[in-house]
């Protein structure tokens, strides 16, 4: 009976993951719609404003490793509360930004103590609640990130149009605070982790396995290399799509709606990807989604038909979100549960390096060329490097075939 109760509560944790990721990824993805209003007020370059996204991404990557190692030996709930408070506080502080150093500091707070804490710990929790439908459960939970990346920037654009960018940050921060704390309070750890925490308590230890990855190190190393490039590819689109479309003459609300369409399709894409991972394997799904993302990303600057643009956004949204979902699912399926949080936090570190690099380089290439054609070509090049690494991983794994035992 207790096992049935725990199994059912796993779906509550899917809801927790969905909601908190919608909030956190949505706030981060909204950088693109704040970019031009802030530039208009302060005269900052697009590259310097996009560096706010990069600051959040890199700080989430660095501090996420710390939270991931700590979370393997501590209750998940405390990391959820810390993450929610940091995301909400940083968003509120951004409404008072008057200088670049403040802008970067607040996004550092957002990434290091907010997004980094949430992202590096929640999926290890959710993954350990499930055995048969792990891919589907994780895919549904991660759909929240795509939903938030579509909904929050669109809402932010409406708020900016109505009240200005500073009030938009303020309203979003208050919303994150109320919703986030209520949802974080629902967090529970799965039975396997509770047993592990009890063992650590009995042994008088704070965390298990020290700083070791054990047998998971081989897979983590390959995934860490691959995600740098697949995330560089997708972040160019996430951060620079709205500015590129408004430069081409689209109204800000219409441009934001294209991003919303892409992200909402991404939510569905992550659910579908999770199920596909259960059927054909997570690594194979990751490679196929990466191929699709790489082929499509280069076309965005060359399309001026709105219907075709929406169509491209729908297909790309499903594929890029599939890359993110299958990446997380691959880590969960390939490593032991006792080191799941730290394994994902390390892969996430390199993923955020990629996200930050793509965001920044997209802005820098625009500043150098005056357009986005070469920025999106850069994204395609990053996708090609990701595929090359996945091919090398397949060859290496076929020779080595390490025996990993997922929990």
Local mean pLDDT, 10-residue blocks, the chain (407 residues)? 58 94 88 83 80 83 85 87 95 90 92 90 85 84 83 88 91 94 93 76 59 73 90 89 87 84 84 87 90 94 90 92 86 76 82 84 89 92 93 77 45
pLDDT of residue 57: 80
* Domain-wise residue ranges, the chain: 2-400
Which residue bears the tokens 């892409």?
Answer: 262
Neighbours of 374 (CB within 10 A): 16
Tell me the two tokens of residue 71: 């979370």
Tokens of 327: 């990446």
pLDDT for 125 equals 86
* 189/193 Cα distance (integer angstroms): 6
DSSP state of 44: -
Q: How is residue 332 written in tokens?
A: 């969960």
In angstroms, rounded to a whole number, what is the distance separating the alpha carbons of residues 194 and 35?
A: 44
pLDDT at 403: 45
Q: Position of tokens 């590129």?
A: 244
pTM: 0.75
DSSP secondary structure letter of residue 214: G
Looking at residue 381, its pLDDT comes to 94
Q: What is the pLDDT at residue 404?
A: 42
Q: How many Å apart are CA 362 and CA 383, to the nearest integer?
A: 14
Question: What CATH number should be reported for the domain whose range is 2-400?
Answer: 1.20.1250.20
Is residue 9 within 8 Å of residue 129, measured between CB atoms? yes
Query: What is residue 375's predicted lDDT score, i.e. its pLDDT?
Result: 92
Instruction: Determine how many CB atoms are found less than 10 A away from the CB of residue 387.
Output: 17
């Amino acid at each position: 009976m207790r096992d049935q109760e725990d199994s059912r509560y796993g779906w509550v944790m899917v809801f927790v993951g969905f909601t908190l990721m919608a909030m956190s990824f949505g706030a981060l993805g909204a950088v693109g719609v704040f970019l031009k209003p802030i530039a208009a007020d302060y005269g900052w370059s697009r590259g310097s404003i996009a560096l706010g996204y990069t600051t959040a991404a890199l700080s989430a990557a660095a501090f996420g490793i710390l939270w991931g190692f700590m979370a393997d030996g501590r209750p998940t709930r405390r990391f959820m509360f810390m993450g929610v408070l940091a995301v909400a506080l940083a968003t509120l502080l951004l409404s008072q930004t008057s200088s670049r150093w403040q802008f970067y500091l607040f996004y550092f707070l957002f990434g290091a103590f907010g997004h980094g804490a949430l992202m590096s710990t929640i999926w290890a929790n959710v993954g350990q609640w499930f055995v048969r439908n792990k891919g589907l459960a994780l895919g549904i939970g991660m759909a929240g990130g795509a939903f938030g990346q579509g909904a929050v920037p669109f809402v932010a654009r409406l708020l900016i149009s109505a009240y200005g960018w500073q009030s938009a940050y303020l309203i979003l921060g208050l919303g994150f605070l109320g919703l986030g704390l209520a949802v974080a309070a629902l967090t529970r750890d799965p039975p396997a982790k509770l047993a592990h925490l009890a063992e650590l308590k009995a042994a008088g230890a704070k965390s298990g396995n020290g700083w070791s990855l054990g047998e998971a190190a081989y897979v983590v190393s390959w995934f860490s290399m691959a995600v740098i490039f697949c995330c560089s590819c997708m972040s160019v689109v996430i951060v620079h799509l709205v500015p590129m479309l408004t430069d081409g003459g689209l109204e800000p609300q219409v441009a934001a709606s294209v991003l919303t369409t892409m992200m909402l399709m991404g939510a569905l894409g992550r659910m579908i990807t999770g199920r596909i991972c259960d059927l054909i394997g997570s690594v194979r799904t990751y490679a196929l989604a990466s191929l699709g993302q790489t082929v499509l990303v280069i076309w965005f600057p060359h399309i001026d038909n709105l219907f075709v643009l929406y169509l491209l956004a729908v297909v790309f949204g499903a594929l890029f979100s599939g890359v993110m979902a299958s990446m997380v699912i691959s880590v969960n399926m390939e490593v032991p549960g006792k080191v799941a949080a730290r394994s994902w936090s390390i892969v996430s570190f390199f993923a955020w390096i990629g996200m930050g690099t793509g965001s920044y380089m997209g802005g820098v290439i625009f500043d150098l060329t005056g357009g986005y054609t070469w920025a999106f070509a850069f994204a395609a090049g990053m996708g090609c490097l990701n595929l090359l690494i996945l091919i090398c991983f397949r060859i290496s794994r076929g020779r080595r075939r390490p025996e990993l035992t997922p929990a």
